[in-house]
C-alpha cells in the first residue's frame, strides 16, 4: 500500500513567488496520476516537493500516512525520471542500471548475484539486453531514456516520479515509449506521479488527471470525466478545446485526401 497525500501544500520561493498554492491532492495506492498544465503552472515544483528536492513552505506531504516534509530524498523511497537522461557517461548501461542498488547500505543491500539478476530482468523488460556493455553515448535517445526509466524502477521505489520524461524524443518514439511506460506500470503497479504539459499524453496515460493553473488545482478526476465535465473555463479551454481541435485536424487531413 503506497498512497500519497498533499495537505494544504504551498510553495513560496525565496523571491516571494507562490508556485503552488494550498494544494490538496490524493494519489491512491497503485494509481497513475498525471499532473497536467501549461508551462510555469507549478507541476515540477509539486513533484520536487514530494521528491525532497524543494522545501515545503506550508502544509504537509504524507506517504502512507507518514509526514515526509523533513525526510531527506534518499529516505523517501521515491525514484525519479527527468526530461534529460542524466546517465553516468563513463559507466556501461549495466553499471548505470545497477548503480543505485550497488550504493545501498545495510539490510537493504542485495547480493551481487541478486543485483545481476535484477539488471538482466530490467534489461529484458526494456529491450536493452544487447546494450548492457555499451556506454550511454553509443545509444539512441530512446534507448537512453529507457535506461533512465530502468534505473528509477530497478530499485522498486515506493513512488515513481516522472517529469516530462518524453519531451526530448521525436513524435513516433514518444508514442512508443508512452505505451511502454503504461505497460511497465500495469506490470509493477507502482504508485506513479507523471508530469506533462501534453493533453493527449495525459489522456492516454492517466488513471486520474490533476490539472493545475497558476499554482492552483483546477480539477482532479478520471480523464473522460475531465473531458466530459470540465470544472471551469480554464479546463474547458486547455484540455477539451485542445483535444477537439486535434481531432478536427486529424479528420480534416483524411477528408482532404
Ligand atoms: N527557484 C525558483 N525561484 C523563483 N521562482 C521559481 C523557482 N523555480 C520555479 N519558479 C517559478 O515557479 C513557477 C512554477 O514553476 P514550475 O513548477 O517549474 O512549473 P512547470 O513545471 O509547471 O513548468 C514558474 O513561474 C517558475 O518561474
Ligand atoms: Mg516543469
Indicate whether 103 belongs to any domain: yes
So what's the pLDDT on residue 170? Answer: 87
- Is residue 205 situated within a structural domain? no
What range defines the domain where residue 133 resides? 78-156
**Cβ within 8 Å of residue 3, ≥6 positions away:** 26, 27, 28, 29, 63, 64, 65, 191
Q: Which of 42, 43, 211 has the most ligand 1 atoms within 8 A of CB, as the residue to mutate?
A: 42
Q: Whose CA is nearest to atom 27 of ligand 1?
A: 40
Ion ligand 2 residues within 5 Å by Cβ: 44
pLDDT band at 1 (very low <50, low <70, confident <90, very high): confident
Average pLDDT, the chain: 94
pLDDT tens digits for 187-204? Answer: 889 999 999 999 999 999
Q: Which ligand is nearest to the CA of 19?
A: 1
Query: Is pLDDT at 155 greater than 80 in this prediction?
Result: yes
Which ligand is nearest to the Cα of residue 36, counting in written order?
1
Domain count within the chain: 1
Question: What pLDDT does residue 88 have?
Answer: 94
Mean pLDDT of 147-172: 92
Q: Mean pLDDT across the stretch 206-232?
A: 98
Residue of 70 and 168 predicted with greater confidence: 70
CA distance 74 to 62: 15
Assigned domain for 150 exists: yes
Amino acid at each position: 500500500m503506497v498512497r500519497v497525500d498533499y495537505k494544504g501544500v504551498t510553495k513560496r520561493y525565496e523571491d516571494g513567488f507562490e508556485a503552488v498554492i494550498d494544494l490538496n491532492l490524493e494519489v491512491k495506492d497503485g494509481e497513475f496520476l498525471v499532473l497536467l498544465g501549461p508551462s510555469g503552472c507549478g507541476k515540477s515544483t509539486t513533484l520536487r516537493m514530494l521528491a525532497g528536492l524543494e522545501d515545503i513552505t506550508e502544509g504537509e506531504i504524507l506517504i502512507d500516512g507518514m509526514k515526509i516534509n523533513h525526510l531527506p530524498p534518499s529516505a523517501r523511497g521515491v525514484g525519479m525520471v527527468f526530461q534529460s537522461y542524466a546517465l553516468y557517461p563513463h559507466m556501461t548501461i549495466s553499471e548505470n542500471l545497477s548503480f543505485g542498488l550497488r550504493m545501498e547500505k545495510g539490510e537493504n543491500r542485495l547480493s551481487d548475484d541478486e543485483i545481476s539478476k535484477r539488471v538482466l530482468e530490467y534489461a529484458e523488460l526494456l529491450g536493452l539486453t544487447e546494450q548492457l556493455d555499451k556506454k550511454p553515448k553509443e545509444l539512441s535517445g530512446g534507448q537512453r531514456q529507457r535506461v533512465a526509466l530502468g534505473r528509477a524502477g530497478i530499485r522498486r521505489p515506493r513512488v515513481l516520479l516522472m517529469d516530462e520524461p518524453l519531451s526530448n524524443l521525436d513524435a513516433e518514439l514518444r508514442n512508443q515509449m508512452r505505451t511502454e511506460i503504461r505497460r511497465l506500470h500495469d506490470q509493477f503497479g507502482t504508485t506513479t506521479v507523471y508530469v506533462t504539459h501534453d493533453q493527449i499524453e495525459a489522456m492516454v496515460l492517466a488513471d486520474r488527471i490533476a490539472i493545475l493553473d497558476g499554482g492552483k488545482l483546477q480539477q482532479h478526476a478520471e480523464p473522460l470525466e475531465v473531458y466530459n465535465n470540465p470544472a471551469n473555463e480554464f479546463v474547458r479551454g486547455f484540455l477539451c478545446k485542445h483535444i477537439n481541435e486535434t481531432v478536427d485536424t486529424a479528420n480534416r487531413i483524411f477528408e482532404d485526401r
